[in-house]
Structure 1
Amino acid sequence: VRKRVVKKKIVVKRSHWRSGQKYSGWRQHRPIRDYGRYGLHRPGRGQEWIRVGNDYVLVGVLSGVIFGALAAH
């Protein structure tokens, strides 16, 4: 008997990120503290930048609501 391990690959498309949408998995990502280094503007009060795949996503720290997203260079 052979066991087969299938790993699920999650592919995130650019159009996936929409302002006002909730991103439930945002807590799995480390916040970006040196946002200026990546050309990102300073997050507003209660917001933080996270990197998800090839995108930077600005989320609300309490709600997980997306405020904006940019493609990483």
Structure 2
Amino acid sequence: MFKKILIALATTTLVASPIVSAQAQAQHYNGQHRQEVTRTVVKEKPNGRTVIKQKTTVRKATPQARRWAKGQRFDRRYATNYRVVNNYRDYRLSAPPRGYQWVRSGNDAVMIAITSGLIGAVVGSAIR
């Protein structure tokens, strides 16, 4: 009887500890966030043996949408769905001044200086 209680307590500890640590485990790797999830499966065989399988899954965290503002430096690495907008009239945007261009970041239209990357204007939800 005591042996069964010890086995049950040990398996509960083995199952619960990776679940608790996996929820809080987020690592910073090469400038990108990633999340590791470890799942433990405990099975009892008919012959009395206990089989423990662990599987670790690594997921990249989804990037957060960046909020652009006038005067910031635009970096296309942080822009979601980055594209240069050549047909700005179709989106009811004004013609960009010389040295500027309209680009897309998510659903926002951002006018940036071509050489310096400074943001001249931001039109939110202009592109759908």
What is the alpha-carbon distance in structure 2 between the residues aligned to residue 50 and residue 3 of structure 1? 39
1:22 to 65, 73, 78: 73
* Aligned-pair identity (%): 30
1:60 to 92, 109, 113: 113
Alignment CA distance shift 1:62-1:3 (3 Å): farther
Q: Which amino acid aligns with 2:92?
A: G
Give the TM-score normalised by structure 1: 0.77
What is the alpha-carbon distance in structure 2 between the residues aligned to residue 5 and residue 53 of structure 1? 26
Q: Which amino acid aligns with 1:46?
A: G
- The higher relative CO (CA closer than 8 Å, separation ≥ 6) is in 1
Which consecutive unaligned segments of at least 5 residues does structure 2 have? 1-53
The number of residue pairs the alignment matches comes to: 70
Displacement of 1:3: 4.2
Partner of 2:60: 7
RMSD: 2.1
Say which structure is richer in strand: 2
Which consecutive unaligned segments of at least 5 residues does structure 1 have? none
Say which structure is richer in helix: 2
Larger Rg: 2
